[in-house]
Structure 1
Amino acid sequence: MSIREQTLAERKGKKWYQTVPDPMVLIFLILLATYALTFVVPAGEFERVMQDGRTRVVPGSFQYLTDVAAIPPFDIFVAVPKGLNEASLYLFIVFIAGGLFHILQKSGALENAIGVAVNRVGVERRNVIITAGTFIYGFFGVAVGFENNIALVPIAVLIASAIGCSSLVGTTMAVGGIGIGFALSPINPYTVGVAQGIAELPTFSGAWLRTLLVLSSLGLLSFYICRWVVKMDFQEPDDTKAMSKELNEYHLEKRDKLTLAVFVGGLVAMLVGVFTRGWYINEIAGMFLLIAILIGIVNRLSANEIVKQMMEGASKVTAGALVIGLAASIQVILQEARIIDTIVYALSGMIQDIPLAFSAIMASVVQGVINLFVPSGSGQALVTMPILIPVADLVGMSRQLMITAFQVGDGLTNLIVPTSGGTLAMLALGRVSYEKWLKAILPFMVLVYGLSWIGLIIGHMTGY
């Protein structure tokens, strides 16, 4: 049988959602659409100035550019290796974290600990475990950040396996919880802190509405996972390693406890570095590498065995890591065409013509679209807030509500946009493909956006 005949045979009888293109194909199609957009959207830019050590946009300074040459078609393909280079931080942390968790799983310590914990709680309390896990991951998103929690995803996958669920359930619990926590955090320094600084508001003021939004959204996510994701069946094999023993057979040996102590101690050291020394992806990846080596030593692995285990772990996340690089090529095309500022300028103008009661909702939609082109939360705040804060003053919307609308639009879309390197990195470690993730999370996105928009309307009505 030829390859074409075999492919047609595999497609026959499948439903439409089972024939969605491979994530690589899907993102490459978006890349082609982005390239086509460069011929429709004119180049333009805002004037930028340095203020308080940050580059900020000057409101009202937008102008179109006439000296930007069209991008040659061949540069579509050149953008891919450039994207891989731009996303190298995410690629390397995925490879290193993949190696770390492979060593940790091979040691058996993490599986033993989760097996003991789930056995004590009781597997029949699956919904309680999922809800608790979702809120715990949500707390990490609120307090620690987004990319800083990449390494915690495989733990959720193993917890899901212990309660008889697939890797999709564990990944939704972890990525969804972290994403919601980060998106709606009342104390997010990357989005709220930067935006309130630009708006000249007290840092983290107005936290009550964001606190209500994050708690209610995490509750909604827990309910969604228990009632929908657990029951989802795409008739696709789940290659995530299941628990190898019955729950009552698990117990912790002395070496398991020492291994876990090294792992937890490393995470604590990482958090201290993040909060006190400004650590980011490179430093976190370096800490993961150190933890992996120490765990190997504790389990009496030779240097060659540690390297072998690291390579095996990295190889299992290669496909997901390459998706991150391909997605980054979209940003490369946008930057070289110099159309990002034009898109921001056009979208921000849409808010001024909307009735005041719905202007905050429209602002969140605009920010969500912009997030596809400017995936950095703090970067987006620096680009859009100098424009939208005066717009809020002009239409009679409070600056606090505009910032919350920005937070909803920017943060929530991180869960679905292919330009979010942190999300793709987490999916790679959870071994859930991008297209499978979209099938699972898109219905929830409709629900959480509806909930957030209700919150924005309440904020407007209460004079927030």
Structure 2
Amino acid sequence: MNTRDQALSQRKKWYRTVPDPMVLIFLILLATYALTFLIPAGEYERVMMDGRTRVVPDSFHYLTDVAALSPFDIFVAIPRGLNEASLYLFIVFIAGGLFHILQKTGALENAIGVAVHRAGVERRNVIITVGTFIYGFFGVAVGFENNIALVPIAVLIASAVGCSSLVGTTMAVGGIGVGFALSPINPYTVGVAQGIAELPTFSGAWLRTLLVLASLGLLSFYICRFVTRMDFEEPGDAKAMSKSLAEYSMSKRDKWTLVVFVGGLVAMLVGVFTQGWYINEIAGMFLLIAIVIGIVNGLSANEIVKQMMEGASGVTAGALVIGLAASIQVILNEAQIIDTIVHGLSSLIQGIPASLSAIMASVVQGIINLFVPSGSGQALVTMPILIPVADLVGMSRQLMITAFQVGDGLTNLIVPTSGGTLAMLALGRVSYEKWLKAILPFMVLVYVLCWVGLVVGHLVGY
């Protein structure tokens, strides 16, 4: 065996030692349980303001009457986590069924095949870049979890240009995640945080706009330059193009199928923006779209059910990972150590130069996001504490909110407690451990980019 073969063999051997996603998250669960014996229980006082529960600054106190968790509580937390994450589980199952029906009809594949053939597969990098920015726009304007069902489309686009499911998933999940994280008009993070900081809603948008555009450009370059070259073993049920691009054409039935699909997505967006729809309503719309598409393609009721069940079974493993990850939050809540962690981390920002305090704030928020994965929930917990800290260290409130966005939003792409991210990975047929291998180098790059932006923002008086 020559040197090159030995290197390949060693690389393959190392790759096989990476734990299964279930094992990896269970190990994190065990580590979280261990933390409950090292971190004392504590809490902040909370009050109702404007219909929201907010933390009272300087009200933290330790609790002495919280019983220690038993080892058995680890295993009880898993079914409780499945229950807590049921919203995400069901939308993954239903979206899996919807796209399985679309896959069987061939309408979506035919549309992508025709579009890529006309654009030219030799323009692969342009297609990936445009796709990344489109998904980024959806993240900016629509939200995070609301875009779960769009991931398989990116996988098919990637297949059409000769790339792996990993490329398509990175394009979709990365684009949506970056767009949502740095959105200048994010109502869940910016809107809530600026309300607490007593700033005009969506003010200071110019810095966040520059950051999101620069970060999406960086992501596009990273995908084209690095992710397309990564070794990735396609799962057996991966959605891929079934013939050469020149063979694709659109029938009348295909066009009607796409009209139903796109019309359903538009109706979903209208519901999100005007009726306050969230996961349950979106999942219901996906189910309705699947049924109507089945009828348009002449499927009987039994055939529609069969296709939905086959699609749901294909994403079962990914859905169960979501439930297992949610058990981490169960343990943290039971031990009542989340507020203690927030209190300890927020103290790190004080006593450092103002020019670096924004960077430290983003790091703190990123760590807190592991324990409080909801963006609006994290804003309600941390902003009443960190806004006064910003005033003390000479950092503007606007910059503190942007630092919060960077820390909270970007870490959604890697923390195992982000149900939306795990749901998207399940639909893209990319495991959590393979996702980490692909996205972690980009996380380093995008954080450096955003930290430079935060320092510049401080220097120009943002």
Q: TM range, normalised to the smaller chain?
A: over 0.9
Partner Cα separation in structure 1 for residue 231 and residue 13 of structure 2: 12
One of 53, 56, 65 as aligned partner of 1:55: 53
CA contact 1:196–1:202 (8 Å) conserved in 2:
yes
User: What is the aligned-residue RMSD (CA, Å)?
Assistant: 1.1
CA contact 2:166–2:232 (8 Å) conserved in 1:
no
Partner Cα separation in structure 2 for residue 87 and residue 278 of structure 1: 20
One of 161, 164, 167 as aligned partner of 2:162: 164
Q: Which secondary structure state, in structure 2, belongs to the residue aligned with residue 39 of structure 1?
A: helix
Query: After TM superposition, what 4+ stretches of structure 1 lie above 4 angstroms from structure 2?
Result: 234-239
CA contact 1:160–1:167 (8 Å) conserved in 2:
yes
The one-letter code matched in structure 1 to 2:14 is: W
Partner Cα separation in structure 2 for residue 234 and residue 226 of structure 1: 15
Partner Cα separation in structure 1 for residue 233 and residue 143 of structure 2: 34
Q: Percent identity?
A: 88
Q: Does 1:181 align with 2:184?
A: no
The one-letter code matched in structure 2 to 1:70 is: A
One of 426, 435, 440 as aligned partner of 1:428: 426
How many pairs align?
454
CA contact 1:352–1:391 (8 Å) conserved in 2:
yes
1:48-447 alignment, distance < 5 Å: 48-234=46-232, 239-447=237-445
User: What is the CA distance between 1:356 and its match in structure 2?
Assistant: 1.0
Partner Cα separation in structure 1 for residue 271 and residue 69 of structure 2: 42
Partner Cα separation in structure 1 for residue 24 and residue 302 of structure 2: 39
For the structure 1 residues 199 and 239, does the alpha-carbon distance in structure 2 shift closer, same or farther, using more than 3 Å as the test?
A: same
CA contact 1:167–1:238 (8 Å) conserved in 2:
no
User: What is the CA distance between 1:242 and its match in structure 2?
Assistant: 2.1
The one-letter code matched in structure 1 to 2:246 is: N
Q: Which secondary structure state, in structure 1, belongs to the residue aligned with residue 67 of structure 2?
A: coil
Q: After superposition, give the CA deviation of every residue in 1:38-62 in whole Å (9 maximum; x if it has no partner).
A: 0000000000000000000000100
Q: Which secondary structure state, in structure 2, belongs to the residue aligned with residue 56 of structure 1?
A: strand
The one-letter code matched in structure 1 to 2:350 is: Q
Residue matched to 2:3: none
Q: Which secondary structure state, in structure 1, belongs to the residue aligned with residue 422 of structure 2?
A: helix
CA contact 1:32–1:76 (8 Å) conserved in 2:
yes
Q: After superposition, give the CA deviation of every residue in 1:70-126 in whole Å (9 maximum; x if it has no partner).
A: 011101000000000000000000000000000011000000000000000000000
Residue matched to 1:4: none
The one-letter code matched in structure 1 to 2:323 is: G
User: What is the CA distance between 1:235 and its match in structure 2?
Assistant: 5.3
CA contact 1:18–1:234 (8 Å) conserved in 2:
no
Q: Which secondary structure state, in structure 2, belongs to the residue aligned with residue 325 of structure 1?
A: helix
Partner Cα separation in structure 2 for residue 310 and residue 263 of structure 1: 16
For the structure 1 residues 234 and 301, does the alpha-carbon distance in structure 2 shift closer, same or farther, using more than 3 Å as the test?
A: closer
Partner Cα separation in structure 1 for residue 173 and residue 236 of structure 2: 18
The one-letter code matched in structure 1 to 2:96 is: G
Q: After superposition, give the CA deviation of every residue in 1:15-68 in whole Å (9 maximum; x if it has no partner).
A: 323321000000000000000000000000000000000000000100000000
Partner Cα separation in structure 2 for residue 243 and residue 336 of structure 1: 47
Q: Does 1:452 align with 2:450?
A: yes
Q: After superposition, give the CA deviation of every residue in 1:191-222 in whole Å (9 maximum; x if it has no partner).
A: 00000000000000000000000000000000
Residue matched to 2:4: none
Q: TM-score, normalised by structure 2?
A: 0.97
Partner Cα separation in structure 2 for residue 236 and residue 112 of structure 1: 21
Q: Which secondary structure state, in structure 2, belongs to the residue aligned with residue 205 of structure 1?
A: coil
Q: After superposition, give the CA deviation of every residue in 1:281-324 in whole Å (9 maximum; x if it has no partner).
A: 00000000000000000001000000000000000000000000
Residue matched to 2:5: none
Q: Which secondary structure state, in structure 2, belongs to the residue aligned with residue 50 of structure 1?
A: strand
Partner Cα separation in structure 2 for residue 142 and residue 177 of structure 1: 9
Structure 2 unaligned runs (5+)?
1-8
User: What is the CA distance between 1:236 and its match in structure 2?
Assistant: 6.1
Q: Which secondary structure state, in structure 2, belongs to the residue aligned with residue 164 of structure 1?
A: coil
User: What is the CA distance between 1:240 and its match in structure 2?
Assistant: 1.4
Residue matched to 1:19: 17
CA contact 1:166–1:238 (8 Å) conserved in 2:
no
CA contact 2:152–2:239 (8 Å) conserved in 1:
no
CA contact 1:317–1:431 (8 Å) conserved in 2:
yes
CA contact 2:182–2:209 (8 Å) conserved in 1:
yes
Q: TM-score, normalised by structure 1?
A: 0.97
Partner Cα separation in structure 2 for residue 226 and residue 186 of structure 1: 26
Residue matched to 2:6: none
The one-letter code matched in structure 2 to 1:430 is: G
The one-letter code matched in structure 1 to 2:174 is: G
The one-letter code matched in structure 1 to 2:83 is: N
